[in-house]
Every structure is written in structure tokens, then in C-alpha cells.
Amino acid sequence: MNESDFDLLAEDTMTAIEEAIDDCGVDIDYDTAGGILTLEFANRSQIIINKQTPLSQIWVAARSGGFHFDYDAANQCWRLQGNDEELFSCLSRYCSEQAGEAVKLEN
């Protein structure tokens, strides 16, 4: 994947995450600046999501650790490196852990 294709795909994904946060019904604030999406929870914890253009990856930093996602073109989704779990499924789990309630994010 070339850099411009990655940037478009990553930006679309960041927008989809924002929309999923808006639709989930849980009090999660977010802010985007410089290609970094920061989710903030009522307990002041954060999840940081950013694109790593040189590696064509999306990186997520949560309380439970740091995670790298590669694009799976065949299935048109981002997959956790080494695990193959889908990005929105992982984000649902990370957000649930930090929000202290069930969060379901759908793309």
C-alpha cells in the first residue's frame, strides 16, 4: 500500500471510530489533533490512537498495553498484529475496561 492510500484509509478509520464513539451511548470524550485521536473517559484515563505512516499501521495505546494493527485488504479491516483480532472488537474491549461498563463499537 502506498503512503497516500494508507493516509486515506487511516483517516477514514479515525472518522469511523469517532462516529462509533458517538453512537455507543457511553460517556467518552474524544479529540483529534495532528493525526492523533485521544479518547478520554470519566475516570480521566485515556486511549491514544494514531497512524504510523512509515509502517502502514494504526497504533493504539490503552491501559492494557500498546497494540499495532495492520490492514487486511482481503477482509477490508484492521487486524491486531500477531493475534488477527479486528480493530473495532479490540477497541470495544479496551474502552469497556477503561469506562467500567460495556462499550460496543461498530464500524
Per-residue pLDDT of 26-57, as tens digits, reads: 999 999 998 899 999 999 999 999 999 999 99
106: in domain: no
CATH number, domain containing residue 30 = 3.30.920.10
Written as nine digits, the cell of 84 is 488477527
Ordered alpha helix ranges (H), 1-107: 3-23, 87-99
Domain that holds residue 63: 3-82
* Cα Rg, the chain, nearest whole Å: 13
Total domains, the chain:
1
Name residue 29's beta-bridge partners.
Answer: 40
16: in domain: yes
Cβ atoms < 10 Å from Cβ of 99:
19
pTM of the predicted structure, to 2 decimals: 0.92
Determine the Cα–Cα distance for residues 23 and 41; give it in Å rounded to an integer: 15
pLDDT at 95 over 90: yes
pLDDT at 39 (0 to 100)? 97
